[in-house]
Amino acid sequence: MSTFVLDIERKRGDTKRIVFTVKTLDTDGKTWIPLNISAWTDFRLTVDPSKAPINPDNNIGDIAGAILTDGLDGKCFFIPPGTWDIGKYFYDVQALDDNTEKTTIVEGKYTLIQDITKS
């Protein structure tokens, strides 16, 4: 398994779930396939203005996630609160794997852009 880099851009206020698929290399060493995450726990998506924060003091948010279906397809999801301020941030997603070892699944830039509707 490798940490993927994926940039996210969302409208301020949107709470549509963010879905990730955890993948691993197939036995051929070339093809990425979904990883069974059915025994994984403690999914966390953390957003911060710094790419390498030294502590969580400036985190914009830290939200819990969950397995989307049964975990056999590698899908997990997070529902952002919709209350974070517009801006350019960084994020990562971590979870405890089936050996209860912490692993980073995905990371990248997290940009919240201005919306028009304010309700």
pLDDT tens per residue across span 29-63:
889 999 999 999 999 999 999 999 999 999 999 99
Max CA-CA distance within the chain?
50
pLDDT tens per residue across span 8-24:
999 999 999 999 999 99
- Tell whether 13 is covered by a domain: yes
Q: Where are the beta strands (DSSP E) in the chain?
A: 4-5, 8-11, 18-21, 23-25, 32-34, 41-48, 61-67, 75-78, 87-96, 102-113
Owning domain of residue 57: 4-113
Residue 50, pLDDT score = 96
Residue 47, pLDDT score = 97
- Nearest 5°: the CA angle 100, 19, 99 is 10
Q: Which amino acid is at 71?
A: G
CATH code for the domain in which residue 51 is found = 2.60.40.10
- 3 state SS of 58: helix
Q: Is the pTM of this model over 0.85?
A: yes
- Could you give the count of Cα atoms lying within 13 Å of 101 in the half-sphere of its Cβ? 2
- Tell whether 118 is covered by a domain: no
- Tell whether 20 is covered by a domain: yes
- Tell whether 46 is covered by a domain: yes
- Tell whether 92 is covered by a domain: yes
- Tell whether 28 is covered by a domain: yes
- Tell whether 78 is covered by a domain: yes
Count of structural domains, the chain? 1
